[in-house]
Copies of this chain bind each other. A is one copy, B any other.
Amino acid sequence: MPESVTGVTVPASHRDLLEQPLYGHLATIRPDGGVQVNPMWFEYDGQAVRFTHTTKRQKYRNLAANPVCAMSVCDPGNPSRYLEVRGVLDQVVPDPTGEFFRHLSIRYGSGDWIPDDAADRVVLVMRLTGFSTQ
């Protein structure tokens, strides 16, 4: 059954792509009008998508200037099956102990550790506004 996510229904047929520890390719718009896209760890709680990031990087500056974003996730067993979620940066939550980084690192099989840049770490919270699938 489809699930309502802040007004957006992610179809059950593709929800597994948000639930597995897959890499999401997150696209943002640069202040110069260009577009940027990079792979990211993420977690989905049925309502929002959360990323670990820092306040010192280009993607943070992009989202601070323009909150629109979108993320593409492929099924590794069938790359032509994918989910794109579109949305906006809804919250930036300080993570000065790096705890959310640590949580995602464990989730993605990269071990239990805290990064050197923990003091600058934030959780980016993406609210979903649309999607597409194939």
Asked whether B35 lies within 8 Å of A69 as measured between CB atoms, the reply is yes
Q: In the complex, A39 Cα to B35 Cα: how many Å?
A: 15
B74 and A35 form a contact (CB under 8 A) = no
Q: How far is the CA of A17 from the CA of B134 in the complex (A)?
A: 24
Question: Across the interface, do A37 and B70 meet the contact criterion of CB distance under 8 Å?
Answer: yes
List B contacts of A74 (CB < 8 A).
23, 25, 39
**Closest-CB distance, A111 to chain B (whole angstroms):** 12
Q: Closest residue of chain B to A33, judged by CB?
A: B68
Jot down 9 A-B pairs with beta carbons below 8 A, ordered by A: A25-B37, A25-B72, A27-B27, A29-B29, A35-B69, A36-B86, A39-B79, A39-B80, A80-B110
